[in-house]
Amino acid sequence: MEKIHPQTLNRTQPPRIKDAVEFDLHLKSYEKFTLDNGIEVYAVDAGAEEVMQIEWVFYAGNWFEQKNLVAASANFLLKNGTSTKTAFEINEHFEYYGAYLNRTCYNETASVSMHTLSKHLEHLLPVVKELITDSVFPQEELDTYRQNMQQRLRVNLKKGDFVANRLIDVYLYGEEHPYGKYAKSEDFDALTREEILQFYKEYYQEGRLVIFVAGKLPANTFELLNKSFGDLKTRPVEVSPILALPAAEKKYRVTNDASGVQGAIRIAQPFPNRHHPDFMKVQVLNNLFGGFFGSRLMSNIREDKGYTYGIYSYLQNHIQQSAWVISTEAGRDVSEATVQEVYNEMERLRKEPVGAEELLLVQNYMMGSILGDLDGPFHIIGRWKNIILNNLEGQFFYDQINTIKNVSAEELQALANRYLQPELFYELVVV
């Protein structure tokens, strides 16, 4: 790099501000390993600090359960006891080494994730293996879990925002679809230890597993992973399509709290997944419409009208199907006006091409967000996990960058006329 002597700088001229769209972004490649039993490991070795993250992703989401809540309960209770350790002893072991272990259940997948200092990896992996192969789901732990979840549900059901999130998915997919299922108190009562054990055996002990690891990795990371997990039983698990059954009615008004002062608003339509040719360009249109703090919806409904503290639109992060959702809470007396303003902004996007300055603002925002997602190995492996689990190729990242930089106002207007039609949307207000 050419060095500039301080005396040659013209300090009366500010340095040129570079737009984010001018950046040439690259996604650091992963290394791929295969354990003795065929389990795939994707690794990003990067970072200056001696820390690392491992995520074990199982095809064990609610897509595969025969009874509501079995998948989520099996995932939650993984830490609550093995044949040799109590829940307290398990938590104490990870805390002793300063590690954090979490588990999360999604629709198609469920995961166990761990953050730890790199030097402690050898002491922690055998206990993670124990959770995956030897959890016993003690009845007393299940009883406590059931009681706590029912109490949490009772509290949440008083919140219009929580109720709205449940109902809009039912309207979009149907109550029996994995994306539309929601918890009822009686579902927790119906859970049995035997059903959870059977699900655990089928989808954790003998299921399909993919491992993602990132950070400053010890030289023997692969050997340690192979030692602990290379002898697990595995089998192919396919995510078979399940037909969504959207509701026939499209407009709903629900009273959840007669004395409430706010309305929870959801306006949504089914939308294709990432493999659809319009998906990337619609991401740009979505950000223009309601995807960030400078969006049309935010400028109108928050800044101009003062109806809400915040309003956003987004594409759901599902694998099989998706939906385009507008979400906000507004004053009860202005909820209907808020809904109308959402449709007004759709109409503007259909009728008027976006100006060059506003489009550049959105493009810079999106490029800046991606740049932030490339900051550090944990973010990078998160990008790769999203690509891999959605059955995409690495080129998807670069196609996305190219689309953001080059999509035209005319293309966005055409997409608005195709998708931002009020009659396509389900409309819900919960007060």
Res 1 pLDDT > 50: no
Res 281 pLDDT > 50: yes
**How is 217-264 classified by DSSP, letter by letter?**
--TTHHHHHHHHHTT----------------S--EEEE-S-TT-SEEE
pLDDT grade, residue 401 (50/70/90)?
very high
141 in Cβ contact with 210 (< 8 Å) = no
Mean pLDDT of 224-250: 95
Tell me the per-residue pLDDT of 315-342, one tens digit each, with 9 for 90 and over: 999 999 999 999 999 999 999 999 999 9
**Predicted local distance difference test score (pLDDT) of residue 13:** 82
**Predicted local distance difference test score (pLDDT) of residue 20:** 84
Q: What distance in Å separates the CA atoms of residue 426 and residue 246, rounded to the nearest whole number?
A: 10
pLDDT grade, residue 235 (50/70/90)?
very high
**Predicted local distance difference test score (pLDDT) of residue 3:** 58
**Predicted local distance difference test score (pLDDT) of residue 5:** 64
Domains contained in the chain, CATH given:
31-229 (3.30.830.10), 251-430 (3.30.830.10)
Mean pLDDT of 396-421: 98
Res 21 pLDDT > 90: no
Tell me the per-residue pLDDT of 335-364, one tens digit each, with 9 for 90 and over: 999 999 999 999 999 999 999 999 999 999
Helix (H/G/I), strand (E/B), else coil: 189: helix
166 in Cβ contact with 179 (< 8 Å) = no
Going from the C-alpha of 85 to that of each of 92, 132, 209, 213, 242, the distances in angstroms are 10, 13, 24, 26, 39
Q: What distance in Å separates the CA atoms of residue 431 and residue 428, rounded to the nearest whole number?
A: 10
**Predicted local distance difference test score (pLDDT) of residue 405:** 97
The partner residues of 428 in beta bridges, in order of sequence, read: 252, 266
Nearest to 46 by CA among 224, 223, 213, 220: 213
Average pLDDT value over all residues in the chain? 95
Tell me the per-residue pLDDT of 141-183, one tens digit each, with 9 for 90 and over: 999 999 999 999 999 999 999 999 999 999 999 999 999 999 9
Tell me the per-residue pLDDT of 32-90, one tens digit each, with 9 for 90 and over: 999 999 999 999 999 999 999 999 999 999 999 999 999 999 999 999 999 999 999 99
Q: What distance in Å separates the CA atoms of residue 412 and residue 427, rounded to the nearest whole number?
A: 23
Res 273 pLDDT > 70: yes
pTM surpassing 0.75? yes
